[in-house]
Chain A
Amino acid sequence: MNYLHISINVIVMAAIYTKYSLPNNTLSFITKAYKNTIFFGPNHIVRNIFNQKTNNEAFDIIVVGGGMVGTTLACALANNKCLQSKKILLLEAGNKQKYVSNDQYSNRVVALNKYSKLLLSNIGAWKHIQSHRFTPIVKMQIWDAYSDAMLTFNDDYLSQALAYIVENDLLLHAVHTQLSKKKSVTIINNAKVEHINLSNNIGIDSNILLKSGENFKAKLLIGADGQMSKVRDAMGVKYVDWDYDQMGIVATVKLCETIENVAWQRFLPNGTIALLPLTNSLCSLVWCITTEEAKRLLQISEEEFIDNLNDAFLKVYPKDELVKCGMQAFKKLFENFQLPSAVSRQLQPSIAGIVDGSRAAFPLGFGHALHYVQPGVALVGDAAHRVNPLAGQGVNLGFGDVTVLVEVLAKAVNNGALIGDTTYLHNYESIRLKYNIPTMLTIDALHRLYKTTASPIILARSLGLQLTNIVKPLKNFLIKHAAGTENI
């Protein structure tokens, strides 16, 4: 097992020393090494400068942001036995979206882990998704462009689904269907936040003023308003963020052959490419690539794009001698220990075409608020943390926040505390920090690891892939972490 430790260290060190020299302690690492990128949230919290409107309606909880996480949170709060008497307001900046069932798949999908699915089942939304469409991933294959290293999960098809692919708009529609049955929740669309005035005192309400002039009071204000969160700005918490200078290209692609419920991911010299199954012959593409390259890929014709895409999956890159030697030595080593070193490789599918108009791109970045809570206010989802979609963890982290926050608030109410009581909110923060920070740093480290072409690093990452495949407990740990088993 010593080899294992050494190799894991090599991976971690390689990840860490790729670009930055970082101490091991996560928090001090964030504050020290990224000092120059720390964004000090504006402290200009203006106090009551606006004219008080007469319509100062009071709510127990106001959720700012009606995306997947915010809407699910509102529904989960109203669904809880202890919280069902609480008056909830959901503020959404956009128009009311009418979901039209379409044969064509949307290009924005999420990969839900089983805890996110459980949350959706608990609020009754999963049955709407189930009756429409979703795809379970039962097998996952990950491989490296520069070496023979590869990693397969659930090769034997024995364990349950690793993840569930659901379209964003269907998910939102399913949650809204449930939410419409909750009388305690009021939804306001086109609600643009003008100003937030936090009381910072338990027991004294916070105020939120909309651009429309409407003014609301809340005992607890929850920011689910994404990476540019206004609630987070009002809190004035430090927000650590950096850009990867990469973009994610998404598209719905048609395959040449039929493949059932397998997800594919290849690590390339300049990014990663992944296919998530939608049907037997349709896949959702997530291609993370340099911003420059992404812009080019958006411009070119469809045929050219498909050629580039197939290239990314199939192109054979020259294998580095050093890496090759290292891999062989490694293979020998494990043969000596009589551990299984060969894995069956399933040939990746080739792409026949893309669905019209499904090609789009979004910038990738990393961000994390140093605190998620203050008296009477809490952050969830991307408002608190933003990750690279590399491992499909973003929305799962958000749903994890929702699950824990609802539990903590129910406990607070059940124990007679005020709903914004920091004693309980801090509980939410510490549970989520313990899960979110390691997950985010792993994703970030993986990202940095796979951005390089220097031999020792490729060797390290190849060994890493190979090792995780051979050593069952390690692989099981990875699979569990990705599936969110350690969620709570």
Chain B
Amino acid sequence: MNFVLSISTTVNLKENESAKSKSTTVDTKELNKFSNLCQNWWNPNGEMGPLHTMNPLRIQFIKDGLKNVGFVENSPNYPFKGLMLLDVGCGGGILSEPLARIGANVTGLDASKELVAIANEHKKLDESISSNLSYVNKSVEEFSEETTEKYDVVVASEILEHVIDQSLFLKSCVKLLKPKGSIFITTINKNLISYLAGIIGAEYILQVLPIGTHDWNKFISPEDTRRLLNECNCNTRLIHGLLYNPMTYQWSWTPLKSINYALHAVKNECL
């Protein structure tokens, strides 16, 4: 675990002077990389294609996870009605929008100003989500300074492998979660297979992702994620493998957790 701790931040230099001396989870290089991709964020055939096709599975995963901890869906049209939900690292809002459309009160959080602008722009296309979806341009640690125990659900999908201080990142996420609330994470394992499939295969050979999308050093094994969550008073309920088929552009569930995996953990009531 070669975390780089206490790096002074360079995020949004002008706006966030106050955050300068604090530790951060935001990696400026990553931030610029994804901000540059913002024009193509909502093109299902573009670089973000795999994120679009991942939606059916990750939404089902959240639904099933919530059912497992006793959440009852009341309406077939708005199964998430009444849920306070935080989407950490929401990007252009690919996952935030459908979550809002099924009734949740969604806050999308992203450190990139450009991506939040894209997300806000795209949100205007659907009036039905104008009242229960809002975006905040902050890093999770900044956001958790002013807000605590507000959300029933925190989703951190495909973001954990892009932050610097994964421990601080998860701590901040959990801080925002109500006791007994659920945190859902999807990310990439750290091993030889995930290096070959996730970087060599996906970026260099098949080119389904732009070169440089992922940094293997930041990948994290399910065991480490689980340990870090344990340290923040969360019990892991389920870890499930995900597999992307580059021929059909579809994701499917797999018992193998060697590349992508999804994780559901629940915050304990008290320490």
Contacts and interface: CB of A to CB of B under 8 A. Distances in A.
Nearest to B102: A416
A203 B126 CA distance: 7
A411 B56 CA distance: 9
Interface stretch (B92-100, B142-150, B181-189, B211-219): B92-100
Given A415-B59, A416-B102, A203 B125 contact: yes
Contacts of B99: 416
Contacts of A417: 55-56, 98, 101
Contacts of A424: 56
A85 interface: yes
A416 B98 contact: yes
B126 A82 contact: no
Contacts of B100: 416
Tell me which of A81, A416, A422, A423 has the highest count of chain B C-beta atoms within 10 A of its own C-beta.
Answer: A416
B52 A416 contact: no
Determine the main DSSP class of A at the interface with B: loop
B85 to A, nearest CB: 11
Contact of A415 (B53, B60, B122, B125): B60
Interface in A192-230: 202-204
B46 interface: no
Nearest to A80: B76
A423 B100 CA distance: 18
A416 B76 contact: no
Contact of A414 (B52, B55, B102): B102
Contacts of B42: 202-203
A34 B248 CA distance: 26
Interface in A244-279: none
Nearest to A82: B76
A423 B55 contact: yes
A413 interface: yes
Nearest to A411: B56
Contacts of B59: 415-416
B79 interface: yes
Contact of B79 (A375, A414, A423): A414
A422 B76 contact: no
A418 B102 CA distance: 11
B74 interface: no
Nearest to B56: A415
Contact of B77 (A85, A375, A411, A421): A85
A81 B76 contact: yes
Contact of A82 (B55, B77, B122, B248): B77
B82 interface: no
B44 A415 contact: no
Interface in B87-122: 97-102, 122
B78 to A, nearest CB: 9
B52 A423 contact: yes
Contacts of A418: 101, 126
Nearest to B79: A414
Given A204-B125, A423-B53, A413 B77 contact: yes
Nearest to B104: A416
Interface string A67-81: 000000000000001
B76 A414 contact: yes
Interface string B53-87: 10110011000000000000000110100000000
A202 B44 contact: yes
Interface in A423-466: 423-424, 430
Contacts of A375: 44
B8 to A, nearest CB: 39
A416 B98 CA distance: 4
Contact of B102 (A81, A203, A204, A415): A415
Contacts of B101: 416-418
B98 A415 contact: yes
Contacts of B77: 82, 85, 413
26 contacts: A82-B76, A82-B77, A85-B77, A202-B42, A203-B122, A203-B125, A203-B126, A204-B125, A375-B44, A413-B77, A414-B76, A414-B79, A414-B102, A415-B55, A415-B60, A415-B102, A416-B98, A416-B99, A416-B100, A416-B102, A417-B55, A418-B101, A422-B44, A423-B55, A423-B56, A430-B248
Given A417-B55, A417-B98, A421-B44, 6 more contacts: A204-B125, A375-B44, A414-B102, A415-B59, A416-B59, A418-B101
Interface of B: 42, 44, 52-53, 55-56, 59-60, 76-77, 79, 97-102, 122, 125-126, 248
